[in-house]
Chain A
Amino acid sequence: MNDSQSTARTSSGSRVKFLIGGLLIVAAVVYLIASSMQASAQYFMTVAELEEKAAEIGDRELRISGAVIGDSIQYDPSTLRLEFVIAHIPGDQKEITAQGGLAAVLHTAVNDPSQPRLKVVYTGVMPDLMRNEAQAIVTGRMGQDGVFYAEELLLKCPTRYEEAVPDQAMDG
Chain B
Amino acid sequence: MLANIGFGVLVVSFITSLYGIIASIIGVRKNSLAWVESARKAMQITFPLITIVALAIILLLVTGQYQVQYVYNVTSSTMPLYLKITALWGGQSGSLVFWAWLMSAFTTAVTLRKWERDREFLPWVILVGLVTLTFFLSLILFFENPFVRFWVTAAGNQVISMFPPAGAAPLIPADGRGLNPLLRHPGMIIHPPMLYLGFVSFVIPYAFAVAALVTGRTDDRWIRITRRWTLVAWLFLSLGLVLGSRWAYDVLGWGGYWAWDPVENAAFMPWLTGTAFLHSVMIQEKRGLFKRWNMILIILTYALVIFGTFLTRSGVLSSVHSFAQSAIGPMFFGFIALSMIFSVWLLIWRWQILHAEGNMHSLLSREALFLLNNLLFMGILVVVFWGTVFPLISELFTGQKVTVGPAFYERSTGPLFAALLLLMGIAPLSAWGHSTVKTLGKALWKPALAALAVVIAAFAGGIRNGWALFGFLLVSLVIFITLFEYFRGVTARRRRTGEGWLAALFNLMARNRRRYGGYIIHLGVVLMALGIIGIEMFQTETQGTIPPGGSLRLGRYEVTFTRLDIFDANDGRNVARATVLVSKDGRMVGELHPRRDLYFDSMQPMTIPGVRSTIEDDLYVLLVDWQPISSTGVTFKVFHNPLINWLWIGGFVFILGMLVAAWPDKDPQPVPVAVRRGQVIPSRSSGD
Give the B-binding residues of A (Cβ under 8 A).
Answer: 7, 10-11, 14, 17-18, 21-22, 25-26, 28-29, 32-33, 35-37, 39-45, 63, 65, 77-78, 80, 91, 93, 96-97, 101-102, 125-129, 131, 137, 139, 152, 154-161, 163, 165-166, 168-172
User: Hey, which chain A residues are within 8 Å of B545, CB to CB?
Assistant: 77-78
| A37 and B606 contacting across the interface, CB-CB below 8 Å | no
Q: Provide the bound-state CA to CA distance between A29 and B412, in Å.
A: 8
**B362 within 8 Å of A (CB atoms):** yes
- Beyond A18-B360, A21-B363, A166-B72, 16 additional contacts (C-beta under 8 Å) are A10-B359, A26-B379, A32-B415, A33-B382, A40-B404, A42-B402, A42-B405, A65-B318, A78-B635, A97-B325, A125-B254, A157-B320, A161-B91, A163-B69, A165-B171, A168-B175
User: Hey, which chain A residues are within 8 Å of B254, CB to CB?
Assistant: 125
Lowest 6 CB-CB distances: which A-B pairs, in order?
Answer: A172-B172, A44-B401, A77-B635, A78-B545, A40-B407, A29-B379
User: Hey, which chain B residues are within 8 Å of A156, CB to CB?
Assistant: 318, 320, 322
| A160 and B404 contacting across the interface, CB-CB below 8 Å | no
**B624 within 8 Å of A (CB atoms):** yes
Q: Which of B168-185 contact A (CB under 8 A)?
A: 169-175, 177, 180, 182-183
Give the A-binding residues of B (Cβ under 8 A).
Answer: 66-67, 69, 72-73, 90-92, 150, 152, 158, 160, 169-175, 177, 180, 182-183, 253-254, 315-316, 318, 320-326, 359-363, 368, 371-372, 375-376, 379, 382-383, 386, 391, 400-405, 407-409, 411-413, 415-416, 543-545, 603-607, 622, 624-627, 632, 635, 637
| A36 and B407 contacting across the interface, CB-CB below 8 Å | yes
Decide: A43 near B407, CB < 8 A? Known: A93-B315, A156-B320, A166-B173: no
Decide: A29 near B391, CB < 8 A? Known: A42-B404, A78-B545, A161-B91: no
User: Hey, which chain A residues are within 8 Å of B391, CB to CB?
Assistant: 44
Q: Provide the bound-state CA to CA distance between A157 and B606, in Å.
A: 12
Decide: A96 near B325, CB < 8 A? Known: A14-B361, A36-B412, A125-B254: yes
Which one, B180, B253, B361, B368, contacts A11 given CB within 8 A? Answer: B361
User: Hey, which chain B residues are within 8 Å of A96, CB to CB?
Assistant: 325
In the complex, what's the smallest C-beta–C-beta distance from A154 to chain B, in angstroms? Answer: 6
User: Hey, which chain A residues are within 8 Å of B626, CB to CB?
Assistant: 77, 126
* Closest partner residue, chain A, to B158 (CB atom): A165
| Complex A-B: 23 CB contacts under 8 Å | A7-B359, A14-B362, A21-B363, A32-B411, A32-B412, A33-B386, A36-B408, A41-B403, A42-B403, A44-B400, A93-B315, A96-B325, A128-B607, A137-B318, A158-B180, A159-B180, A160-B73, A163-B160, A165-B160, A165-B171, A170-B172, A170-B173, A170-B174
User: Hey, which chain B residues are within 8 Å of A91, CB to CB?
Assistant: 401
Q: Provide the bound-state CA to CA distance between A171 and B172, in Å.
A: 6
User: Hey, which chain B residues are within 8 Å of A11, CB to CB?
Assistant: 359-361
User: Hey, which chain B residues are within 8 Å of A155, CB to CB?
Assistant: 320
Which one, B183, B359, B604, contacts A128 given CB within 8 A? Answer: B604
Decide: A39 near B160, CB < 8 A? Known: A157-B182, A159-B91: no
| B403 and A63 contacting across the interface, CB-CB below 8 Å | yes
* Closest partner residue, chain A, to B633 (CB atom): A78
User: Hey, which chain A residues are within 8 Å of B67, CB to CB?
Assistant: 172
Decide: A25 near B379, CB < 8 A? Known: A11-B359, A165-B150: yes
User: Hey, which chain A residues are within 8 Å of B91, CB to CB?
Assistant: 159, 161
User: Hey, which chain B residues are within 8 Å of A101, CB to CB?
Assistant: 325
In the complex, what's the smallest C-beta–C-beta distance from A113 to chain B, in angstroms? Answer: 25
| B92 and A41 contacting across the interface, CB-CB below 8 Å | no
In the complex, what's the smallest C-beta–C-beta distance from A112 to chain B, in angstroms? Answer: 21
| A93 and B624 contacting across the interface, CB-CB below 8 Å | no
Q: Provide the bound-state CA to CA distance between A169 and B159, in Å.
A: 13
User: Hey, which chain A residues are within 8 Å of B408, CB to CB?
Assistant: 36-37, 39-41
Q: Which of A25, A101, A128 has the most CB of B within 10 A?
A: A128
User: Hey, which chain A residues are within 8 Å of B386, CB to CB?
Assistant: 33
In the complex, what's the smallest C-beta–C-beta distance from B273 to chain A, in angstroms? Answer: 15
In the complex, what's the smallest C-beta–C-beta distance from B569 to chain A, in angstroms? Answer: 17
User: Hey, which chain B residues are within 8 Å of A33, CB to CB?
Assistant: 382-383, 386, 412
In the complex, what's the smallest C-beta–C-beta distance from B256 to chain A, in angstroms? Answer: 12
User: Hey, which chain B residues are within 8 Å of A166, CB to CB?
Assistant: 66, 72, 150, 171, 173, 177
In the complex, what's the smallest C-beta–C-beta distance from A40 to chain B, in angstroms? Answer: 4
Decide: A77 near B404, CB < 8 A? Known: A39-B411, A93-B315, A169-B171: no
Decide: A169 near B173, CB < 8 A? Known: A43-B400, A78-B635: yes
In the complex, what's the smallest C-beta–C-beta distance from B426 to chain A, in angstroms? Answer: 15
Decide: A157 near B404, CB < 8 A? Known: A33-B412, A36-B411: no
User: Hey, which chain A residues are within 8 Å of B169, CB to CB?
Assistant: 171-172
In the complex, what's the smallest C-beta–C-beta distance from A7 to chain B, in angstroms? Answer: 7
| A35 and B160 contacting across the interface, CB-CB below 8 Å | no
* Closest partner residue, chain A, to B371 (CB atom): A18
User: Hey, which chain B residues are within 8 Å of A163, CB to CB?
Assistant: 69, 160
Q: Which of A21, A101, A159 has the most CB of B within 10 A?
A: A159
In the complex, what's the smallest C-beta–C-beta distance from A36 to chain B, in angstroms? Answer: 4
Q: Provide the bound-state CA to CA distance between A90 and B430, in Å.
A: 57
User: Hey, which chain A residues are within 8 Å of B158, CB to CB?
Assistant: 165, 169
Q: Provide the bound-state CA to CA distance between A136 and B182, in Å.
A: 17
| A44 and B402 contacting across the interface, CB-CB below 8 Å | yes
| A159 and B175 contacting across the interface, CB-CB below 8 Å | no
Q: Provide the bound-state CA to CA distance between A22 and B73, in Å.
A: 51
Decide: A29 near B383, CB < 8 A? Known: A44-B391, A170-B174: yes
Q: Which of A37, A97, A166 has the most CB of B within 10 A?
A: A166
| B152 and A14 contacting across the interface, CB-CB below 8 Å | no
In the complex, what's the smallest C-beta–C-beta distance from A98 to chain B, in angstroms? Answer: 12
* Closest partner residue, chain A, to B70 (CB atom): A161
Q: Provide the bound-state CA to CA distance between A155 and B254, in Å.
A: 13
User: Hey, which chain B residues are within 8 Å of A102, CB to CB?
Assistant: 325
Q: Which of B67, B175, B362, B635 has the most CB of A within 10 A?
A: B635
In the complex, what's the smallest C-beta–C-beta distance from A153 to chain B, in angstroms? Answer: 10
In the complex, what's the smallest C-beta–C-beta distance from A61 to chain B, in angstroms? Answer: 8
User: Hey, which chain A residues are within 8 Å of B622, CB to CB?
Assistant: 125
User: Hey, which chain B residues are within 8 Å of A168, CB to CB?
Assistant: 173-175
In the complex, what's the smallest C-beta–C-beta distance from A171 to chain B, in angstroms? Answer: 6
Q: Provide the bound-state CA to CA distance between A41 and B382, in Å.
A: 17
